[in-house]
Chain A
Amino acid sequence: MDSSALSNHGFELDSNATVLLMGLRRSGKSSICKVVFHNTQPLDTLYLESTTKPTTENFKSLIDMAVIELPGQLNLFEPALYDYEKLFTSIGALVYVIDSQDEYLSALQNLAVIIKYAVSVNPKIHIEVLIHKIDGLSEDFRLDTQRDIMQRVGDDLLDYGLEGVQISFYLTSIFDHSIYEAFSRIVQKLIYELPALENLLDLLMQYSNFDKVFLFDINSKIYVATDSSPVDIQNYEVCAEFIDVSIDLDGLYDSYHVTESESSQVHSRNSIADIYDESQYKKLQSSDNVIDSNDVSKPVRCISRLENGQMLYLHQMIRGLALVAVSRLDDDDETTSLSVIDHNVSIFKKSLEKMWNHAKI
């Protein structure tokens, strides 16, 4: 049990927010990357080429995250090719992708070997297993598959004498929101400030009468934090799509960046946070008129009322994040009035800013 003690005390303040994506060939690693981080349509991933060399992608969000993807056909024990020791010590989470529609016994063997190595090099690594492509399995069979895989992995680890290792399992598919949900949880484990964030969100929820509140990364629709109430996947989906709606609508009346071609739309959404900063920068540069700072700092804010009395609330935060909440409005209740909510949210935003001034990264 010295491994857990190590992780509690010696939490180094280096950038550990790196996710390593591994799995056998054709298990769907590149597709996951494309869908989650590049807003690619799931069907388009059918035409992806096989990945031949490790790829690294960086994402600037609340935490600066990087995803490293290893080619599937790689043999771990060809030490000449890559410096595995260095690689494994530098990552925060190892995500292993298993194709649930295929014969997964060889994948499980591979996984056990990798876990053994990873734990020996870096004891505080998070090990996450995605039981992927479950869209092709029937409901009953999904749970059976999960149980089977968990059982076998447990047995394998027992053989290696590694029964203390914590492994999380997720059922995922790129054709619904389960992959976002899984990645949200994986990323959340890497955020050092998460408990504080959750506390803040709980407080916000309590005083603003929100049913549910998420802190989203706008680019990837991963939620960085949520309050402590259970996540309803449908609420999550609606909130994620609500971000798209508000960004797309706002983008149509963007007079500083006229997007002419269709193709640039996808691109512009990818880096929407950057573009906003850029456009404001240009605005400041180009116009001779003095623009009051109040206007420039005005955030994107979007409210939509629904017929059943619920309300969707979006408020842009710092670092490409957005706060999205579902709330139930009563007309004559003081705590649900919009100005109170606005006020609370702006306080929350200020505390986020404060937190990140002192944050490690």
Chain B
Amino acid sequence: MSSGKKLLLMGRSGSGKSSMRSIIFSNYSAFDTRRLGATIDVEHSNLRFLNNMTLNLWDCGGQDVFMDNFLNNTTDSNNSNSTTNNIFKKCEVLIHVFDVESKEVAKDINTFKRVLQNLSKFSPNVKIFILIHKIDLVQSNKRQELFKLMYNNLKNIAHDEYGFNITGFATSIWDESLYKAWSSIVCSLIPNVDLYEQHLTKFNQIINAREIILFEKTTFLVISSIDRFKSVQQNGSNLQSSIQVTENLDPKRFEKISNIVKTYKQSVNKIRSNFKNLILHGKNSSIYLDILTTNIYIMIIMGKNEGSDQNYEVWNESLILENIRIARSVFEKIENKPVK
């Protein structure tokens, strides 16, 4: 119970809160979310994440009746405002969702302000994320501009009036932007992210991969990643050589991988199974996706013909699989480390 993190998911009715939750945590496809009805009051879900972390996700229904109930006048004291008290107490994260198509922007902002007001009172250390959602409904050339406009506006409100720093994302359930946003949200909650990264760096010094990524098992959100450029940099050796190494890879590749693998997981479910590992020898690189610990998947991308040794055998699967097996025990230790 002590390590449970409370996340509030708020926003106006119909803005897509429950859809997000279902896609990220319940393996829905974007298409399936049409079946979801309105959320009544608050829907709680408890999710175990990385062994020792529990996420209590409070999905708050966004209709005016419920919203007013949550936000009802806090000035009158003690017993009568128990709901407000209950909702905003001990909150670690607020995720506020804005519908990009909303007609009543002023009202949305007003609600946001009232939420912030309550939070500053009950849990001032909360981390705040805003998601400008349903961005797929905006023409692609106008998305960036619109997002900046809304984000800056909200950032100023939050900072000037309530002293909160907020982070914003433009999201859509129809592409991978949703995974990016939730990855950053969840990563901000993991206590020992840098520990993972340290060990990942060491690991990469051994196997010299093009890139290594860690994913959480059920949600396939990215926990940590390292590429060759980063590891060389942290190693302190000369940067000259590493600059050549950085490739102009797709900046959205992490989210795309999350998306691809989740789709794959769903399709494998059709033959009543779950996937264990995947080894791909492609035209460009070899990709190894395997279980690292009970809660983490590791993905190693090896370049071709790029080993330090000319005769480096990239096709040697067993070597890499053995390396993963050895790394397993180290990462299991990190994972089981009690949170301070």
Q: List the interface of chain A (C-beta within 8 A of B).
A: 234-235, 237-238, 241-242, 244-246, 248-250, 252-256, 258-259, 262, 276, 279-280, 291, 295, 298-308, 310, 326
Contacts and interface: CB of A to CB of B under 8 A. Distances in A.
Contacts of B285: 250, 253
A305 B249 contact: no
Nearest to B250: A252
Given A253-B285, A295-B304, 20 more contacts: A241-B267, A245-B264, A249-B260, A252-B249, A254-B283, A255-B248, A255-B249, A298-B281, A298-B283, A300-B281, A301-B280, A302-B278, A302-B282, A303-B279, A304-B277, A304-B279, A305-B276, A305-B277, A310-B271, A326-B271
Interface in B137-151: 140
Contacts of B264: 241-242, 245
B283 A276 contact: yes
A321 to B, nearest CB: 16
B217 interface: no
Contacts of A238: 267-268, 270-271
A241 B266 CA distance: 10
A306 B140 CA distance: 38
A252 B305 contact: no
A300 B283 contact: yes
A305 B275 contact: yes
A304 B270 CA distance: 15
B274 A253 contact: no
A253 B249 contact: yes
B20 to A, nearest CB: 20
A157 B175 CA distance: 50
B278 A237 contact: no
A306 B256 contact: no
A310 B287 CA distance: 20
B210 A253 contact: yes
A90 B285 CA distance: 44
Contacts of B316: none
B257 interface: yes
Contacts of A310: 271, 273
Contacts, number: 111
Interface string B246-263: 011110010011001101
Nearest to A232: B271
Contact of B287 (A249, A255, A291): A249
B238 interface: no
Q: Which 7 A-B pairs have the closest CB atoms?
A: A250-B282, A241-B267, A304-B278, A306-B273, A308-B273, A302-B280, A307-B274
Nearest to B261: A245
Nearest to A260: B250
A244 B211 CA distance: 22
A291 B263 CA distance: 36
A303 B263 CA distance: 17
A246 B282 contact: yes
Contacts of A242: 264, 267
Contacts of B276: 304-307
Interface of B: 140, 175, 210-211, 247-250, 253, 256-257, 260-261, 263-264, 267-268, 270-285, 287, 301, 304-305
5 contacts: A255-B284, A262-B140, A276-B283, A307-B273, A308-B272
Nearest to A289: B305
A249 B304 contact: no
Nearest to B276: A305
A253 B283 CA distance: 9
Which of A234, A235, A252, A306 gathers most chain B CB within 10 Å? A252
B312 to A, nearest CB: 13
Specify the main secondary structure of chain A where it touches its partner: mixed
Contacts of B283: 250, 254, 276, 279-280, 298, 300
A234 B266 CA distance: 12
B287 A295 contact: no
A259 B250 contact: yes
B322 to A, nearest CB: 16
Nearest to B267: A241
Contacts of A280: 283
A250 B282 CA distance: 6
A101 B284 CA distance: 47
Contacts of A276: 283
A250 B284 contact: yes
Contacts of B175: 262
Contacts of A298: 281, 283
B319 to A, nearest CB: 15
Contact of B268 (A256, A303, A306): A306
A262 B251 CA distance: 12
A301 B271 contact: no
A252 B281 contact: no
Contacts of B261: 245
B286 to A, nearest CB: 9
A248 B260 contact: yes
Given A249-B280, A301-B280, A237 B267 contact: yes
A195 to B, nearest CB: 29
A161 to B, nearest CB: 47
Contacts of A254: 283-284
Contacts of A305: 275-278
Contacts of A256: 284
A304 B275 contact: yes
A249 B281 CA distance: 10
B31 to A, nearest CB: 9
A265 to B, nearest CB: 9
Nearest to A338: B317
B260 A234 contact: no
Contacts of A249: 257, 260, 280, 282, 287
A305 B290 CA distance: 10
Contacts of B263: 241, 244-245
Contacts of B271: 234-235, 238, 306, 310, 326
A227 B253 CA distance: 36
Contacts of A295: 304-305
A244 B262 CA distance: 13
A307 B277 CA distance: 9
A301 B256 contact: no
A303 B301 contact: no
Contacts of A300: 280-283
A333 B200 CA distance: 36
B242 to A, nearest CB: 16
